[in-house]
């Protein structure tokens, strides 16, 4: 799926950094979000991990990627890789 197709659909699109790429055709993406606490009015940062399908095994840990909702592919995988936004630093 290309970026243009992702924008046309009603599916959710998230951007996050890859935490793990050790599984075959699966990546773990950490998506951070910030919101204002309703009572204390302080900006709070939270993160959540999503398992996403990477058909070509092209993503490495540290990359910033965009993922989109997909049909259920396994017990935990419900997202699919759309594009690599930024390559991670080479070691």
Domain assignment present for residue 91? The answer is no
Q: Looking at the 3D structure of the chain, how many domains does it have?
A: 1
Q: How far apart are CA 30 and CA 32, in angstroms?
A: 6
The pLDDT of residue 4:
72
Domain assignment present for residue 44? The answer is yes
In order of 6, 25, 40, 46, the CA distances from 36 in angstroms are: 28, 36, 8, 11
Domain assignment present for residue 29? The answer is yes
Mean pLDDT, the chain cut into blocks of 10 residues (91 residues total): 73 96 97 97 98 96 96 97 88 50
Domain membership of residue 78 as a residue range: 3-86
* Both tokens assigned to 7: 């924008």
Say which residues have a Cβ less than 8 Å from residue 36's Cβ, sequence separation at least 6: 42, 43, 44
Task: CATH number of the domain at 27, please.
Answer: 2.40.50.140
The pLDDT of residue 3:
67
Q: Is-contact 32 45, C-beta < 8 A?
A: yes
């Amino acid at each position: 799926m290309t970026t243009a197709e992702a924008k046309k659909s009603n599916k959710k699109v998230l951007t996050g950094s890859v935490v793990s790429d050790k599984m075959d055709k699966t990546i773990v993406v950490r998506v951070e979000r910030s919101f204002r606490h309703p009572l204390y009015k302080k900006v709070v940062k939270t993160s959540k991990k999503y398992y996403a399908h990477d058909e070509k095994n092209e993503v490495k840990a540290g990359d910033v990627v965009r993922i989109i909702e997909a049909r259920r592919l396994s017990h935990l995988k419900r997202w699919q890789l759309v594009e690599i936004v930024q390559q991670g630093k080479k070691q």
